[in-house]
Structure 1
Amino acid sequence: MRKNVLLLETIAEEAMAVLQDHVNVYTGYDADSLKQVLSDTAIHAIITRGKGLIHPPLMDACPQLEVVARCGVGLDNVDVAAATARKIKVINAPGSNTATMAEHTLALMLMLMRNMYESVAAVKQNNWNWRNQYTGDELHGKTLGILGMGNIGQRVARIGEAFGMNVLYWSKSSHDLPYPYQSMEAVLRQSDVVSLHLPFNNETAGIIGEQALSWMKPGALLINTARGALVDHVALLQALNAQQIGGYAADVLPEEPPVQSLPVVQHPRVIVTPHSGSLTASTYRQICLLTVGNVVAALTGGNPDPNSIYNRHALS
């Protein structure tokens, strides 16, 4: 008998085709359609991307649920503990966004360091004389401090090194890497550019607050492509206004989309992209196909990649 899979959000066409070849697919993109599906169908797996929430009430509405999955790496919108307690596999796509997020991080770093955003905007407004007031610098010779040395952090380190940057890092634990491991305070005090690649949890929420920002070198840049809530935005705005730090570039915010007048977003020394770092055509397709392939395997008696089952150890 074919299993039933519920999609809370759209996925890549190729991934949808794989699903439809092996299971029955139902969509619950809005509250009304979701309610209708749940009232009529026994759901065996739920797949989301970045917005659809997989929480206890939804799990409890699907008594035959075997798998919940996110087409992505972070699991902020999946209640992993609740799923584990119900013996439900949690599947994601670890490592699938490493290259694209590292590239996006360096793109933001370059834009901020070289003041590219204002330069491009000035030329589009026919203001070639902007070059007479241009200020900017290069990455070469600067110290890059990385907080969080997982797959993405390590990739950023290697690219930064290729740019001629001096790399040092702090992480929850040290790694066998050719870069100095130091305390977070030491990294912040020495770095010209700080790049955040930490997971979001109770320990890291607001980790870049008033104290951490005060440790940063005057004029240093802060880059965040990890999670918006790692940064205390009230303290960040104060540090920017006091010229305590040189600028902030991010692909993430604590609340997405932000309130239009969010002061940090409007600040002249801030660049924010709309959580689009992983939305390149190649990565979006890869993430969806990896996740769907492992969900199908889990439902049909196949062999999903063990590393894709986030809570495998807790279920064993």
Structure 2
Amino acid sequence: MTKVFVTGKVMKVGVDMLRGFADVEIIEDPRPEILEERLKGADGILHKVGKLSEKVLRNNEHLKIIARHGVGLDDIDLSYVKRKGIWLTTTDDANTNAVAEFTIGLIFAVVKNIVRAHIELTIKNRWMREDFMGEELSGKILGIIGYGRIGKKVADLAKGCGLRVIAYDPNVDRADCELLPLKDVVSQADFLSIHCPLTDETRGLINCELLSRMKPSAFIINTARGGVIEEDALVEALQERRIRGAALDVFALEPIERGNSLLNLDNVVLTPHIAAMTEQSQEKMAVMAAQEIRRVLLEGREPLYPVW
């Protein structure tokens, strides 16, 4: 019988679709040694968490498709998958609204001091109105790094708040906002929001030199991938108040380690990679990924959203 593995917790509707034609095994523990031990003999993989390295994948001689639950591909050995002729798909656009809305939420959280005020009131029982003076968004500049589906949606929502949007994306020639060189976007932005994928070209893109170009009053927002920012350089900039603050949903190492210096800062808002965690987006991603696996394994057709 056709064998499909699911890595991570996926909405039941997607798993049920797979069980309609395949033997499904769910692996919730993403540790490499667990995946290497259990992920064997797969015809298809619905992949949500963990790293699919060559070491993990080479025990699956008949693997025909990896359907990514999401859009990030930095946890998959792309060269091995391509070399073996394995279909690789993503759930493009399924989480666009969720991530874009969350990004705007983080902007509000930092500029309005929402999280800090909540902590002072509920945990410390301190009524501190004057200490949490916020600012209005209208007239400020949002700089977007990566103007794909999510970046564009963030721009649309931001414009509704009166923000002026500028963007950098070397792969985009035309946009409904002003496209500028990276250094100019970084230096002009009041809010710098990261929306590019993590690749060899973007790893450590936001480094010490670029952070030094940011306004001292600026915030950096990251709902993309932690590796796009040099985390040590960011911590130093925050500690020295060279930038005003940061809101991060992603980190260089996940889950974030207890000793990470970001956890000790008072000018950050940190969340555990939950931007795409809405009922709607999780269901869409589960269904889209399952449909792609069904197309390839059951119907013998090409997927609708292949990476190549």
Closer, same or farther: CA 187–34 of 1 in aligned 2, 3 Å: closer
Conserved? CA contact 1:28–1:34, under 8 Å: no
Find the counterpart in structure 1 of residue 284 from structure 2.
286
Closer, same or farther: CA 220–4 of 1 in aligned 2, 3 Å: same
Q: Which amino acid aligns with 2:71?
A: V
Structure (1/2) with the larger helix percentage: 1
| Larger displacement relative to structure 2 (246-255 or 185-194) | 185-194
Which of 30, 35, 38 is equivalent to 2:37? 35
Which of 169, 172, 182 is equivalent to 2:170? 172
Find the counterpart in structure 1 of residue 55 from structure 2.
57
| CA-CA distance at 1:301 after TM superposition | 2.4
Find the counterpart in structure 1 of residue 307 from structure 2.
310
Closer, same or farther: CA 255–36 of 1 in aligned 2, 3 Å: closer
Conserved? CA contact 1:295–1:304, under 8 Å: no
SS at match of 1:174: coil
1:107 equivalent in alignment to 2:105? yes
Q: Which amino acid aligns with 2:37?
A: K
Q: C-alpha distance in 2, partners of 1:34/1:144?
A: 43
Find the counterpart in structure 2 of residue 266 from structure 1.
264
SS at match of 2:256: coil
Closer, same or farther: CA 28–220 of 1 in aligned 2, 3 Å: closer
Q: Percent identity?
A: 26
Q: C-alpha distance in 2, partners of 1:113/1:272?
A: 14
Q: Which amino acid aligns with 2:190?
A: D
Q: C-alpha distance in 2, partners of 1:96/1:58?
A: 27
Residues 272-300 of structure 1, C-alpha deviation per residue, up to 9 Å, x if partnerless? 10001111111111101100111111111
Which of 186, 189, 193 is equivalent to 1:188? 186
Q: TM-score, normalised by structure 1?
A: 0.91
Q: What is the total number of aligned residue pairs between the two structures?
A: 305
1:237 equivalent in alignment to 2:239? no
SS at match of 2:193: strand
Q: C-alpha distance in 2, partners of 1:196/1:47?
A: 26
Q: C-alpha distance in 2, partners of 1:36/1:122?
A: 46
Structure 2: runs of 5 or more not aligned: none
Residues 154-181 of structure 1, C-alpha deviation per residue, up to 9 Å, x if partnerless? 0001111110001111111334322111
1:72 equivalent in alignment to 2:70? yes
Q: C-alpha distance in 2, partners of 1:36/1:166?
A: 50
Conserved? CA contact 1:4–1:24, under 8 Å: yes
